[in-house]
Structure 1
């Protein structure tokens, strides 16, 4: 049974129907990804389901009492002054108690009687675990200054604050529009685990294919106002979508061939003749509609000719940069080589964007030298929005950079042809830029950078707000790109596919050079963590006997319990992994709920046994 659904919903935008009579339903435990190219109405559909937008026609129905959490690409903080005002809801008793408790602890003089009173109330409301969860979420999303004015926050900070609030409120349905934007990779991996714990109902739009695969068990595509459902991961979706499109193309081609014959018949018939078959005339017009279907695309390899590159490209020698005495980059040196493909990885705030600004000369180093080769031409895609005039057309924005672009094989394609390859069909090229969606504007901005034919391409979070189809085009372009590529992205799939070396920003000004992509780096980190765990365990077991003697000795029964607990913990951990893998392959809603509850039960059992094992380990 659906807990949230649309009933014959239709919606128009800028005098264009996005979809008509659309039916979209979610059942409890569904974890659905909504995909489709920019401008098809994905964000609008999310807003309609979250009751943020009233549809032009139709309505949304939901289960009585259900609570919906919505993460917008542009969060609304109207009527709120500080972070504290937004985090703690006035109508939530537990949150208000926690807010009062935190405020008291942060005050200059703590009223002990008030503290005792609040402590008792928190215990009575069973809010201590909730308080711990809130702190975990806020710390993970790098929110610490609760008195900060919301107006002073950056776009990324506002998005993280909005996500934190949604997770704290624990809604019945999570509706998330690009939840991974402005998050670092470690936080994205934490969010994946959070959303897949228990039987949460999730609907999301994301360009992050690893996140999509790890969180969702179903993909629904919004294409030309229609919803197509695929039970499986993104690879399965691509296969089935290709099959569907091939069938649509074949059907349209067949209709066009038949239409040519029917057109001759229509022309031969006298206009006023009443005996003309009405059924055949109706069939003709129906056939005419079918013939307007998709055509087979002639693929063009997106390999552009880049400007000539000399032997000296870019040299950084002992570069240091700090802000307010806080080191951002310390004594870093690197000489760039031809065809370098480098990804920048690290937590938010560790200096990745500062590094790009130093490289391109926007900022200056405190010490050290940065030498740019005479033939080096930078192409720099920043996170800021596209600058345009209200009267600018899409085609003009690109033609202002170049009328045409030369491919690596010597062929020349026009600005219009390149726009088509980047999913701007001819009819959209003459639209005003002001009528484009947020993702389409980002795509246009990216095209302007690529058309300048740089031989040193710098991309700062290019995947933010881009749909997956556009990312596929971008990936093809970058795979054939012969210049130097410097890429900042939280999209692990993009980094893995396009880079073979990493600059890892570890904080405190340290930058580690790593040969390999992010998947290689992640495996290495996990291996180190396992080895550290084993080392710690070995040290624990090899403590000096005199120290052991000071402690209580285990009874024979406790010793046997300790040994069996190790085996039991391993078995439970393996069971959780197996059940989680199974969960990501299921499509039956009842089975999903059943497996999710089993995982939750196993996790509780694991926590209890781990706690008991640690307790006994103290006396080994």
Structure 2
């Protein structure tokens, strides 16, 4: 069943054309993701479909009585209402029945009103609906229904907006970055909810695991053209690669034909026959095809990283709390060169506060933070860029200098640097407030990196960045030789770039987990229900006690040792064969013998550790 049809629509802002001649449809039970680069009209497309913006040409045709709910980046909540009032502010008849019942519960002396409300609940089978909406509020941590909206944080307001549209059960949900402001637990719940529910979605999201597990169709706007992929994110990546390869092959074929036809054109006499005129017309079509090129410019990230000494950061028994909320309790850690740490935990457990403590933007209550003399922070915060009124894009960068130093003694101008971050010369003279959310984030990232840090701290860097920019950022971070610490709910991003995790458990407890996010989920899901976890608050480390079992860290070590022993034995056999064959020259025999002895020592050490762990496993 067709819910909505977009027919030949276009949208421009002044001379900037976002898209033109776009047509597609949304059918019942489809879960569609809309993918495009930042600044090419994703949010404008959502606003048009939701009826909040008009098109320059074409039309949007909706099925009669179609109920649409839109989760935008801007909250539209009545600040004077409570959470409960915002939820019941709906024309949903079941919600009205539940609202009446809730009021009757609060006035038990009016037995007649209670009886009538109870009967209506029974008649319309509203109990299941009530259970479901309360579960939604519970999962999104919105359990204090009497709390005023004016007292909520920005993240809580976004979660309330999401809860309201889920509870109201519209025919079509339009979602603009639904996972922003959700912690990992909430994202995984929402992912599961959308996967199981018969629900129609049209959304923009940068969360690639979310795309993978929820969407059954992806629509991509690429260089002004629309492409549809009937599958999830993996299918999209595969088919997009095939499409681009096919396009390039087509262009190459046209180039070869163009050379042939150009030679024919040059040899033709001035007098043209009807047949040759037709061929000339075809020549110009071939010429256009042969000169097609993909505008495949990507963000180019390059920095002249300051030298990092042996002393990085040392945390000595640091503690911090806000009123009764304990963030850290005698936490100790010594950072090493090249560390790549991901930070995860529920909202409110102190992840951002921890970053502010390390960068000494807020003081510790007790303990000591020691920063090495060579450490140069690059701190990307959730607050983003704060431009001066009327400030232009290029003026933001020129505050750091007209010339920006790069590696190997090179430098580039502020304008050239902005071009590397996909800001055209014309766009550089736009006011910062005119940029899209993703473009502002990209500009902010530029200001952080051009300061040439050797210790990068990124607090939710993936919010509002398009998937193309995310891929480039990930590749840059994989090659970044300094230290990296990142708070992110983007599981795909975390899996790709971090080596281990600080898991914020709450109440000052931090667990150092040896692996990425997927490793952590596997570990958490594999825990038996009877397993007990004891927390030693004095050193904020979590220890799991269960006789006859290895900890997750020990299990990883056990598996790794077996592989190491196998590799060392192969090296040992190779050297022994070389010595036996007489291939090695006399002056090198001593050197190779020492190498062999080192391998034998390593094998002995690893076999002893393997035996120790295997005995523990047998319990």
**1:356 and 1:433 mapped to 2: Cα distance?**
27
Is 2:303 the counterpart of 1:308? no
Partner secondary structure for residue 196 of structure 2: coil
1:20-31 aligned at under 5 Å gives the runs 20-31=20-31
Tell me which residue corresponds to 1:11. Answer: 11
Is residue 448 from structure 1 mapped to residue 451 from structure 2 by the alignment?
no
Structure 1 counterpart of 2:556: none
Q: CA deviation at 1:181?
A: 0.4
Structure 1 residues 52 and 292: alpha-carbon distance in aligned structure 2, compared to 1, 3 A threshold: farther
Aligned to 1:604: none
Distance 2:425 2:278 in 1: 35
| Shift in CA distance, 299/250, structure 1 to aligned 2, threshold 3 Å | farther
> Match for residue 511 of structure 1?
510
5+ long unaligned stretches in structure 2: 533-619
8 A contact 2:8–2:23 mirrored in 1: yes
How well do the aligned residues superpose, as a CA RMSD in angstroms?
A: 3.3
Q: Conserved in 2, the CA contact under 8 Å of 1:5 and 1:49?
A: no
| Higher Rg | 2
* 1:83-140 Cα shifts (integer Å, max 9, x gaps): 2332113423322333344456568x87565444433332233211111111111111
Query: Take 1:402 and 1:35, find their aligned partners in 2: how far apart are those partners?
Result: 35
Change in Cα spacing, 1:440 to 1:263, as seen in structure 2 (3 Å) is: farther
Question: Residue in 1 aligned with 2:486?
Answer: 487
Matched residue of 2:440: which SS?
Answer: helix
Distance in 2 separating the partners of 1:402 and 1:395: 11
Q: Could you tell which deviates more after superposition, 86-95 or 348-357?
A: 86-95
User: Is 2:157 aligned against 1:177?
Assistant: no
Matches within 5 A, 1:272-291: 286=285, 289-290=288-289
Contact 2:314 2:335 in 1 (8 A): yes
What's the counterpart of residue 347 of structure 1?
A: 346
1:226 is displaced (CA, Å) by: 1.7
CA deviation string 1:249-289 (max 9, x = no partner): 45556667877898999999999x99998767765665665
Q: 1:47 to 1:497 in 2, by over 3 A?
A: same
Q: Secondary structure at the match of 1:330?
A: strand
1:165 corresponds to: 164
Find the aligned partners of 2:402 and 2:241 in 1 and give their Cα distance: 33
| Match runs of 1:5-404 below 5 Å | 5-77=5-77, 81-103=81-103, 114-249=113-248, 251-252=250-251, 286=285, 289-290=288-289, 293-294=292-293, 302=301, 304-389=303-388, 391-403=390-402
1:205 Cα shift? Answer: 1.0
CA distance in 1, matches of 2:403, 2:239: 35
Paired residues of 2:500 and 2:516 also in contact (CA < 8 A): yes
Secondary structure of 1:361 counterpart: coil
Structure 1 CA distance, aligned partners of 2:238 and 2:441?
27
> SS at the partner of 2:527?
helix
CA pair 443-530 structure 1, distance change in 2 beyond 3 A: same
Offset at 1:67?
Answer: 1.7
- Measure the CA separation in 2 of the matches of 1:110 and 1:182: 42
TM-score computed with the length of structure 2 as normaliser: 0.78
Q: Write the distance in 1 (CA, Å) between the matches of 2:339 and 2:227.
A: 40
Kindly tell me: are residues 286 and 170 of structure 1, through their superposed partners in 2, closer, same or farther at Cα, counting changes over 3 Å? same
> Would you say 1:459 and 2:458 are equivalent positions?
yes
Deviations 1:364-400 (A, max 9, x none): 1111111111111111111113222454333332343
1:469-548 to 2 correspondence within 5 Å?
Answer: 469-529=468-528
| Structure-2 residue corresponding to 1:439 | 438
On the 8 A contact 2:217/2:232 being kept in 1, the answer is yes
Please give the alpha-carbon distance, in whole angstroms, between the structure 1 residues aligned to 2:292 and 2:112: 75
Task: Give distance in 2, aligned partners of 1:245 and 1:90.
Answer: 47
Provide the rounded CA distance (Å) in 2 between the counterparts of 1:300 and 1:225.
19
Contact kept in structure 1, 2:78 and 2:86, CA below 8 Å: no
Measured against aligned partners, the alpha-carbon deviations of 1:554-593 in whole angstroms (never above 9, x if no partner) come to xxxxxxxxxxxxxxxxxxxxxxxxxxxxxxxxxxxxxxxx
Do the aligned partners of residues 418 and 475 (structure 1) sit closer, same or farther apart at CA in structure 2, a change above 3 Å counting?
farther
C-alpha distance in structure 2 between counterparts of 1:274 and 1:153, whole Å? 78
> C-alpha separation between the residues in 1 aligned to 2:69 and 2:280?
51
8 Å contact from structure 2 (residues 339, 483) kept in 1? yes
| DSSP 3-state at the match of 1:133 | helix
Cα-to-partner distance string for 1:115-174 (whole Å, 9 max, x where unaligned): 444333322332111111111111111113333333343322221111000110112222
- Aligned-pair CA distance for 1:459: 0.4
C-alpha contact 2:3 2:27 (8 A) present in aligned 1: yes
Alpha-carbon distance, 1:418 to partner:
4.2
**Segment of structure 1 superposing worse, 314-323 or 519-528:** 314-323
1:196 counterpart SS class: helix
Q: 1: CA distance between counterparts of 2:256 and 2:111? A: 86
Distance in 2, Cα, partners of 1:278 & 1:215: 54
**Structure 1 unpaired stretches of 5+:** 534-620
Equivalents in 2 of 1:270, 1:28: separation in Å?
61
Asked if the contact 1:11–1:55 (Cα under 8 Å) also holds between the matched residues in 2, the reply is: yes
Contact 1:304 1:481 in 2 (8 A): no
Q: Is the CA contact 1:32–1:218 (under 8 Å) kept in the aligned structure 2?
A: yes
Contact kept, 8 Å, 2:303 with 2:449, in 1: the verdict is: no
The 1-side partners of 2:434 and 2:213 are apart by 34
Shift of 1:296: 8.2
The residue that corresponds to 1:558 in the other structure is: none
Quickly say closer, same or farther: Cα 1:134–1:298, change in 2 above 3 A.
Answer: closer
